[in-house]
Amino acid sequence: MRGLLTIWVGLLCVPPLAGADWLTDGGNSQRTAWQQDEKVLSVANVKNMKLLWKLHLDNQPRQMHSLFPPLIVGRVNTTAGVKQIAIEAGVSDNIFAIDVETGRLLWKKHFTGTWTPPAPASIRSTPLPGTACCTS
């Protein structure tokens, strides 16, 4: 399904506010996807995992791509309190913020550009949260 983001969350998870940051594609600069501090999942309890929510995101696929792996920011101060937020980037120049606990879309931002590359323009990699390196 186009633009469908499905996040699996285990029943035996730590509380959302104690979650780990996953601030780059693959989890670290080597892109190993190894969550070395994960202590909750085991061979004995992984069978208890279930899908808690799914969300359809308004993002059109381009050239067989649609969404990049989500980034997880563990503690974000919001007007509704501290939340764990997934940042999801789509190839149709969209970025979405999703409340990890509820699966609710918090916001969507669509970017438009004026530069025309030889290939169709789109976001082509997972964004990295942090301080801005450049000014516009």
pLDDT confidence bin for 98, thresholds 50/70/90 = very high
| pLDDT score of 56 more than 80 | yes
**Structure tokens that stand for 54 in this block:** 């799914």
pLDDT in tens, 6-23: 333 332 233 444 556 767
In sequence order, what are the beta bridge partners of 82? 77
Pick the more confident residue, 28 or 56: 56
Boundaries of every domain in the chain? 4-110
- Cα separation of 73 and 21, whole Å? 5
Instruction: Return the pLDDT at 69.
Output: 85
How far is the C-alpha of 46 from the C-alpha of 37, rounded, in Å? 16
Cα–chain-centroid distance for residue 44?
A: 27
Contact 21, 74 (CB under 8 A): yes
Token pair of 25, please? 């594609």
- Other Cβ atoms less than 10 A from the Cβ of 85: the count is 24
- Give alpha helix (H) positions in the chain: none
Is 120 or 112 the better-scoring residue by pLDDT?
112
Name the percent of the chain lying above pLDDT 90: 29
Return the residue matching tokens 């990295």.
Answer: 128
Share the mean pLDDT of the chain: 75
Strand-by-strand arrangement of the 71-78 sheet: 71-78, 81-90, 94-99, 105-110
Q: Please report the pLDDT score of residue 13 as a whole number.
A: 36
